[in-house]
Structure 1
């Protein structure tokens, strides 16, 4: 199992595909190491929609954590046989 703890892109670099490339590189490294699942957490004021766009599914959402927002747990199952 692979856990992504931090994926942060500076405001000036957002919208250029860097986040997608970093996430893809993490996924490829996870596959290379034999992982079958990637999981991470993101707050609603951060990027859960970005991860869903990249095939992650919401497992749970803790409302009002922090107050006025939610903590979202996401995962992606890595399909066996996909290229490394």
Structure 2
């Protein structure tokens, strides 16, 4: 239940942050709602689950953190110069 909730919350917040649904080109590193936002949220949820305990609030928090991290990942890591 927590995994699915983290994915749904991350996709909703990514939509609210105006991330594109899919990348413009097929093999680009552009962040979108479909990839890598849910995967980042799942990673945060697993960290919260194993460090603390399984909770609905942690799945919501990890979904929000995953969407914010996906939104600003280009500013954190830089842009690929291909």
Q: Same fold (TM over 0.5)?
A: no
Give the TM-score taking structure 1 as reference length. Answer: 0.30
Higher relative contact order (CA 8 A, sep 6+): 2
More helix by share: 2
More strand by share: 1
